[in-house]
Amino acid sequence: MKFIRIFMNDSYGNEYSLKLFSGGKLSTTQYALFAIQIAVVILLSWLGVIATPVVGPGIGFLYWAYPFFIVFTWWWGLWGVLAAFLGCFIGAGLLTGLPLIPSLAFSIGDLVPALLVLLFYRGFLNKIGVDPLGRDITKKKMSAFWFVFWVMGITNIIGGLWGVWVLVQLGFVPANAYWYGAGLWILGDAIVLIIAPFLARALTPIVERFGLTTKGIIS
């Protein structure tokens, strides 16, 4: 119960929180930015599938969009989560020839990790002193631990297990190959996630300076 109270508590010392509309109305620049960042994630998801080795049916090894939508989720809350979902659905799904239903089910595998990262960073981790925008991962051991444990570990594993399970259910991946496929998926994503802390450290000050981050999870 204590954990849940901490998780749901909105009175953080930090200005970033789990409130829906902390920043008031969205500006036109933010409106354009959120559309463009979704386009970027779609583009990178597409490149992640067509320009990297395909190691299994529907499984590209280096999924370049992953670190981007994690950083975008830190910066822009639910808009980053939406980019994760649409990027996977359109970029890694439809644009590579994966059909509608598999693409939709498959993209849950990106939506859930992004959502869990958002909730944990803006909620619990923010409360215990970890930067919700991921700037301190390369500086503080505790932040690095939570990044490895939560982002590269738990959420990535959930996404990988779900994604390959969907492919098995739809008859794309043989049931016997489930653990092998999931292992490759998780390993590939963990490798590309290495760039997320560097991206956050280099670019967060610029995004903040332009006033483009969302203090709440929508605005």
Partner 1 sequence: MSDTMAERKNREGQKKYLKTILFSAKADSVFVNLHPFTKFALFFILSIAVILAMTKSHPDLVFSLIVFIVVLALLLESGTLKYVIKSYLSLLFVAFIVFLIWWLIFNQIGNSILFSMHIGNYYFKITRESLYVGVAKVFGYAAMAFLTLLILMTTRDVDIVDALNQLKVPFKQTFFISLIFRSLNIMEEDLESIRHAQFARGGKAAKKNPLSRVKEFLALSIPLTALMIKRAVEMGSALEARGFSKSKKLSEPVVKKRIGSADYLAIIFSIIALYISITMNVTNVLGGHIWTSLL
Is 179 an interacting residue with respect to partner 1 (CB under 8 A)?
no
Is 7 an interacting residue with respect to partner 1 (CB under 8 A)?
no
Which of 33, 111, 116, 217 binds partner 1 (CB under 8 A)? It is 33
Shortest CA distance to 164 belongs to which of 150, 145, 183?
183
- List CB contacts of 35: < 8 A, sequence separation 6 or more: none
- DSSP string for 16-75: --S-S-TT-SPPHHHHHHHHHHHHHHHHHHHHHHHSS-EEETTEES--THHHHHHHHHHH
Nearest CB to partner 1, comparing residues 181 and 216: 181
Which of 8, 10, 29, 129 binds partner 1 (CB under 8 A)? It is 29
- The 3-state DSSP class for residue 3 equals helix
Measured CA to CA, the distance from residue 111 to residue 85 in angstroms comes to 5
Question: Which residues from 136-175 bind partner 1, rule CB under 8 A?
Answer: 170-175
Is 68 an interacting residue with respect to partner 1 (CB under 8 A)?
yes
Which of 18, 98, 133, 152 binds partner 1 (CB under 8 A)? It is 98
Sign, Cα dihedral of 86, 111, 44, 33: positive
Nearest CB to partner 1, comparing residues 17 and 37: 37
Is 195 an interacting residue with respect to partner 1 (CB under 8 A)?
yes
Is 128 an interacting residue with respect to partner 1 (CB under 8 A)?
no
Measured CA to CA, the distance from residue 103 to residue 119 in angstroms comes to 24
- Binding region for partner 1 (CB under 8 A): 27-40, 42-43, 50, 54-57, 61-62, 64, 67-68, 71, 86, 94-102, 170-177, 180, 188, 191-192, 194-195, 198-199, 202-203, 206-207, 210, 212
